[in-house]
Structure 1
Amino acid sequence: MRKISIGMIILSIIIIGMLIPVGFSGQVDPVVITYGETTHANHEYKATVDNFFKTQSNADLSKANSKIITADDVNKISSSITGKTYSSSQIFSSALVDLNDNDKLEVSVDKSTITTITGDMYLSALKSSGITSGHVYVTSPVVATGESALAGIMNSYEVATNVEIPDTVKEAANNEIYTEAEIVENSNVSADDLSKLVDDVKETVQKENVTDHTTIVNIIYNYTVVNNINITNNDIENLASSIEQIQNVQGDINNYETEVNNVLNSSEVNSAKGLLDGLFG
């Protein structure tokens, strides 16, 4: 049996202290599926959604944690933003979050059924929330706008990481999605052009730490001119309000991002354990 020096024990304790993240709050559940309640209640709809997830991702659905997103879940967010309310027969969009792919954030959207919200829109809204890793898959068994899917995606991240997203952040991110969806549906601008516009504006606003509404309006207007994007003054006002809301909750976003990154990086604890096994085995 090997002798273990006091120095080695102290070194091991120091290493563990360095590797265990501050604020660690739970184990990662790497694959989570959220089904719209209409989809989950219909066997054929659910099979269609599951088939998309199986063919598009490498996830083992049999081991995935799953949850149903209800109309009440969606209405808690949408009613305060757009005034829309949904019934239990209208929640189709479903999402899979795979945190095994956590080097960067990716979003894959079933374009055959999700007609309004693009992958880039989800990507932008999730980044606005402080979510920066994982692979997200979004689909629906029937044609849907995809607006309600963000509620499910964010819920998936909460289940997967055991870290709750602040309500202020959820509302800001969903407001971004709903605002963009409304503009795309009621104007001639393409979803891709609008998404790029929003990303450019948010980057400028965040870089310059702008919170003044009028200044944000002017930044948006300048980008529309430069990129020859034709949206109404009302659209610009709504976009400015959405981006201003994100700026105003930046503190909550930063706190959430720090906490969830601590959880996602907790795999380092396993590295520490392996090192200790080598020392004491």
Structure 2
Amino acid sequence: MLKRLSMLTMAIIVALNLGVAGVSAADNDKEESINEKFGLPILVLGGTLNDQQKEEVRKMLGVTNPEMVEEVTVTGDDLVRYISGESRNARMFSSAKITREEQGTGLVINRVNPENITEVTDTMYANALITAGIEDATVEIASPVKVSGHSALTGIYKAYEVSGEELDTARLEVANDELNLATDLAEEEGIEQEKVSELLADIKQQIAENKPASREEVEAIVEEQLNKLNIDLSEEDRKRLTDLFDQMRNLNINFDNVSEQLGKLSDTIQDRLGDVVNNEGFWQGVKDFFNGIIDAIAGIFGSGTEDESTN
């Protein structure tokens, strides 16, 4: 009996070690390098963080060599500079590392510790950043404490300013409104977060393709997409959606570029929605695996008991 148990235990340990080794090997293969075309990645730290929290964030965002990033701090003063009506006393914990990528790459958003960023999802960030005019970048977001995640947007804006980009303030305002509306719809209307992102991306895509000339045409697009996705909103939130996208219609946006970025984002959203289904199967597989181990152990002890009873 002890021999069988030892063999089973060794098999489990070997399997787990193989998995860990695979992850470690992948991690060790990653080496920091500088894209000379775009310069150093920019690390934006929330101004409310203390020194210990800043170091924690650096580790979470994979910054092991301070010479491989350009580090800046985002504060409430930056918030009111980019977004009118906000408070300069806002507490800024969300931090981000922004790495510029080649044209056509699209936006890659990764919350490295999503359990601490409670309201804003990867695709919500991507939607808002596309509206703000930010394209082709890898954006990693982290916070050492639980936060909504809204202030990370301001940090990303500052990173682009530091890198020499001039962003349209009107677009930043609408992007901020979009992010607030997205989190409100998820929280107040109880709509799945990825479904909210899909709705916003689809409406934006239709505006990019159809170029509505009036508020009434925008309202028709909003209603069409709500019906398509079987989303039922209050009259107030339907109006907020129409107001938001009517503002967007009046912005000086190159909708050809937006359409391309939105195509990539839509693919990402569909992958995320598919992952929800796939994850259910994965966790069932994990459950079945450990149930199998429990059954095997029970069988070992059971066979041992039968041997002892027959002797």
TM-score when normalising by structure 2:
0.64
Return 5+ residue gaps in structure 1 as ranges: 1-26, 258-281
Could you report, residue by residue, the CA deviation over 1:8-57 in whole angstroms, capped at 9, with x for unpaired residues? Answer: xxxxxxxxxxxxxxxxxxx7333101111112xx1221122111101xx8
How far apart in 1 are the matches of 2:250 and 2:65? 39
Deviation at 1:125, TM superposition (A): 1.5
Task: For 1:198, give the aligned amino acid.
Answer: L
Aligned: 1:163 with 2:173 = no
Aligned partners of 1:188 and 1:230 also within 8 Å: no
Change (3 A) 1:197 1:135: same
Aligned partners of 2:94 and 2:147 also within 8 Å: yes
Deviation at 1:137, TM superposition (A): 0.6
- Tell me whether 209-218 or 143-152 shows the greater mean CA deviation: 209-218
Structure number with higher relative contact order (C-alpha < 8 Å, ≥ 6 residues apart): 1
1:124 counterpart (127, 135, 153): 127
Task: For 2:134, give the aligned amino acid.
Answer: I
Aligned position for 2:276: none
Aligned position for 2:15: none
Aligned partners of 2:132 and 2:168 also within 8 Å: no
Aligned position for 2:69: 64
Name the SS for the 1:136 alignment partner. strand
Change (3 A) 1:86 1:233: farther
- Tell me whether 197-206 or 70-79 shows the greater mean CA deviation: 70-79
How do 1:106-125 and structure 2 match up within 5 A? 106-109=108-111, 110-125=113-128
Aligned position for 2:250: 248
Aligned partners of 2:120 and 2:148 also within 8 Å: yes
State the Cα RMSD in Å: 2.6
1:139 counterpart (122, 138, 142): 142
How far apart in 1 are the matches of 2:88 and 2:227? 37
Deviation at 1:197, TM superposition (A): 0.3
How do 1:1-281 and structure 2 match up within 5 A? 28-39=38-49, 42-54=50-62, 60-80=65-85, 85=87, 87=89, 90-99=91-100, 103-109=105-111, 110-160=113-163, 162-251=164-253
- Tell me whether 105-114 or 191-200 shows the greater mean CA deviation: 105-114
How far apart in 2 are the matches of 1:168 and 1:106? 24
- Tell me whether 200-209 or 164-173 shows the greater mean CA deviation: 164-173
How far apart in 1 are the matches of 2:219 and 2:38? 40
Deviation at 1:79, TM superposition (A): 5.0
Deviation at 1:105, TM superposition (A): 1.8
TM-score when normalising by structure 1:
0.71
Give identity over the alignment, percent.
Answer: 24
Deviation at 1:171, TM superposition (A): 1.2
Name the SS for the 1:95 alignment partner. strand
Aligned partners of 2:44 and 2:71 also within 8 Å: yes
Change (3 A) 1:78 1:104: closer
